[in-house]
Amino acid sequence: MPIESRPRKPVVNALAHAGWHPQARHISSPNSDARPPGIRVVLLVIHNISLPPGRISGPAIEQLFTNRLDADAHPYFRGIAALRVSAHFLIRRNGELLQFVGCSERAWHAGVSTWRGRPQCNDFSIGIEVEGTDTRPYTSRQYTRLARLTRALVAAFPDIAGVAGHDEIAPGRKTDPGRSFDWRRLVHESGVPPSMREL
């Protein structure tokens, strides 16, 4: 059955109850833990990633998020191989969806961050990595997948009140998803209410 005609309700139910997207390829990351008691998901954070920087495709992202990155495989990897980071989702250039952490858990994606005066965004957010760079246009398949994922997450977690870039919650420290990311397109395709995303 084509993705376009798959019913949305089972996806929403799976996300709300188990925290795992049934259409994603699941690769469990050890870089996660429990959210603080009583904390609800209220924010989606959009990132970009390419490893090494500027190189698209390859296994390095998955290896980084699962603590298997070979520090000797590239000079850049020597400075990041020991990092313990993750994200809930990764959207590849071809639109493939990968999930590393269940949505009910806390992924280690935001670092030092603040949203609407509230610090420690990892506690209350879901992190979505989009494979790419700040300056290279993202693909139509990525926007389509991201829009569907955004709709499903907003439906599964009704307390979500915003969608922000990593650069917005960590200004001066992070620049992603960068000027190449088309926020208007995401809002249009996902149907996110204007109150959730200031353009």
pLDDT in tens, 64-80: 999 999 999 999 999 99
Domains, the chain:
3-50+85-194 (3.40.80.10)
Question: Is residue 129 annotated as a catalytic residue, yes or no?
Answer: yes
Q: What is the pLDDT of residue 199?
A: 59
Main-chain phi, psi angles of 4, to 5 degrees: -60, -30
Find the distance separating the first CA and the last CA of the chain, reported in whole Å: 35
pLDDT in tens, 2-53: 444 444 578 999 999 999 999 999 999 999 999 999 999 999 999 999 999 9
Q: What is the pLDDT of residue 3?
A: 40
Specify the amino acid at residue 166. H
Contact, 87 vs 111, CB < 8 A? no
Bridge-based pairing state of the strands 105-107 and 32-34:
antiparallel
Contact, 4 vs 141, CB < 8 A? no
Determine which one of 129, 168, 189, 198 is catalytic.
129
Average pLDDT score, the chain: 94
